[in-house]
Amino acid sequence: MEALRGMLRLRRQWAGAVRRLSSAAHVPIVSTLEVPRPGDTARVLASWLEQNPHARVVALLGKADGAPAGAQPAGTVVCSEVSRLLSAHAPNCDRPAAIMMSAGAEGVEWPRLLVFCHNAPPPAALDARAQASPDEGEARLAFACAFTRELAPHELGTLAQVEATRQAVVAACAEARLDPRTDLCLAEVQCPLLSDAQIEAARAAGAPALALTSAESAGLSRGASALGVGSATGEVGRVAPEDVCSALLRLRSDMAAASARPGLSRSEVLVIGNATGSASTLRAARAVMADAADVASVARALGEAGLDASAGRLSANAHERLVCALAKADGAAALDQLPLAGRWTDSDARASQFACARVGGALRRLVGDAGPAGRIYVSGGAEHQGPPGGGPVCIIFSCLLGDAFWRHVREGYFP
């Protein structure tokens, strides 16, 4: 009888693997692309698209070079170039990819692109998945993007933006077959911010924006977006108008990562989690940093995911399997954690830069990365995103071990 049970269990495992392969055109993959010099983003992406002609790009997360004050316009230009490349790559695609650029590459961070796409597996995929112990009920990496409706300037930072974001998160989770309350690890949101000219125009039109400056509009937009994520995940109950970016920030989502970009009229949402039936060889794990130096929480989450970091740094095996770590840094609390001698006030040294540099340095030491090949992605501005001074972290890693892992790398199927 025991032998029969074992045979049935093995049969279920292989049946699950075959079902995963039946959706071969929709295998979730994440590739990290190094951008060696400012202005190289489009060239690097074009080369990758040429090498992956059948990839359907779902979303791009980019880190722009330079400080936020100067990188925002550059990021807007990069987004336009990238959008044109993706349109040429998949001219018949009925759904655009989410393009999310984060301004500034502070401290040990490096300009890079993270490509979230669906692609076909290599010929050895079935054998590799067998070595990765695929179980019929095992959840693997899944992601999808969605867009809010167009948002008017006077709606940024209001309940209208909260609700629009909630709807987009729910829609993206449905497409990725993720339960937003149990399966979601992170919801990346790129939301609009207003220029000073837009704020003045809205005031002249009789529908003034809540923000008085462009920087204020960015904070309000991020805050409303985070509350929208929290509403979708059940972390946040009823939201009142005065809750958005209030002094107390009493509401929060530990699964929201919002950044603002000029030139947008709607928000772009990327949800990342683990779904049963996904054909991916990757998984995602989540953690919440209590402050900018709280790597213990991240190490604990890595350990629970099977990546040994008990010595304060990832083991060699775990380091090979790490794809990327996405984190938020709370700039509002950054200055309180710095000595007076380390505080600057000019526009090229904002509090968010201190926070990003500190979080990036702490995480990079934990994962053991060095040089420009690092896999850490940190963005600042954490209104309603994680605890004050801390923020959410999402780790994406390979389930493959040993030879199966390196075979996938050699065949161009980034793990």
Higher pLDDT, 381 or 152: 152
Structural fold of domain 282-398: 60s Ribosomal Protein L30; Chain: A; (3.30.1330)
237-240 long-range CB contacts below 8 Å, 24 or more apart? Answer: 239/159, 239/162
pLDDT at site 380: 86
Spell out where 160-239 has E strands. Answer: 184-192
How far apart, in whole angstroms, are the C-alpha atoms of residue 150 and residue 191? 11
pLDDT at site 133: 47
Band of pLDDT at residue 365, cut at 50, 70 and 90: confident
Higher pLDDT, 359 or 228: 228
pLDDT at site 273: 98
pLDDT at site 27: 87
pTM for the predicted model, two decimal places: 0.86
* Total residue count of the chain as it appears in this document: 415
Q: 140 with 281: CB under 8 angstroms?
A: yes
pLDDT at site 72: 55
pLDDT tens digits along 116-130: 999 865 544 444 544
The domain spans of the chain are 139-270, 282-398
Question: Average of pLDDT values for 275-304?
Answer: 93
- Element spanning 68, H or E: helix 68-89
Question: Average of pLDDT values for 264-284?
Answer: 95
Structural fold of domain 139-270: 60s Ribosomal Protein L30; Chain: A; (3.30.1330)
Q: Do domains 139-270 and 282-398 have the same CATH topology?
A: yes
Q: Is the pLDDT of residue 60 over 60?
A: yes
Band of pLDDT at residue 4, cut at 50, 70 and 90: low
Percentages of the chain per state (helix, strand, coil), in multiples of 5 = 40, 20, 35
Backbone angles phi, psi at 324, to 5 degrees: -165, 160
Question: Average of pLDDT values for 128-154?
Answer: 79
pLDDT above 70 coverage of the chain, percent:
73
Q: Is the pLDDT of residue 25 over 60?
A: no
Order of strands across the sheet with 282-289? 282-289, 391-398, 322-329, 376-380
pLDDT at site 192: 95
Q: Is the pLDDT of residue 304 over 60?
A: yes
pLDDT at site 163: 97
Band of pLDDT at residue 8, cut at 50, 70 and 90: low
Question: Average of pLDDT values for 193-218?
Answer: 91
